Amino acid sequence: MKLLSWLVGVFLFFVIYVPGPYFFISLNRNLNFPVFKIPFGLYLGMLMIISGLAFIVYLIFVFKVVGKGSPVITEGAKKLIIKGPYQYVRNPMYLTHLWIWLAMFVIFGDVLLILYLLLGWLTLHVFVTKWEEPQLKEKFGREYDEYVKKIPRWISKL
């Protein structure tokens, strides 16, 4: 990956995983909204985060090897990726972000983290449907159209 891609990726990573959740946790506590204590939540949540981050590293590898690019917007894939997790669902990277946000709820228990998760999914859904998918259709044409017919956007048909 190019330096700009790394910088953009690191910036986005810290924006979505630090200030966003911190804001929602702070708001939750300032408004005295419920905080759920999940038994072993810290351990389960940390396991979820570690597995999610490991999966993101794997997906970056898939982008590099199969797609000849990166998942960062500044250096997208040059080839359509239809292998690995992409043969089951079109957006495994975004689903992994949602998984990690769910893990934050499991760890901290602040109910507004569920709102953060839902707003995150809605934002991703709008981004994917209004910008990313039209870009991929333009870039990969018929190959992408066939892929879309076979593979669901968010929930796998396993």
14 pLDDT band (50/70/90 cuts)?
Answer: confident
With H, G, I as helix, E, B as strand and everything else as coil, classify residue 90: coil
pLDDT for 12 equals 77
- Give CA–CA dist 48/129, Å, rounded: 27
Give the pLDDT mean for 101-122.
97
The residue type at 40: F
- Does 1 have pLDDT greater than 60? no
Cβ neighbours, 10 Å, residue 43? 12
Quote the pLDDT of residue 13: 79
pLDDT tens per residue across span 39-84: 999 999 999 999 999 999 999 999 989 988 878 766 778 999 999 9
Q: Is 88 within 8 Å of 158 (Cβ atoms)?
A: yes
What phi, psi does 61 have (nearest 5°)?
-60, -45
Report if pTM > 0.75.
yes
Calculate what percentage of the chain has a pLDDT beyond 70. 95
Amino acid at 100: I
Domain residue spans of the chain? 31-150
Tell which wins on pLDDT, 95 or 71: 95
> pLDDT tens digits, residue range 126-146?
999 999 999 999 999 999 999
Q: What is the pLDDT of residue 8?
A: 73
Q: Tokens for 119?
A: 């707003």
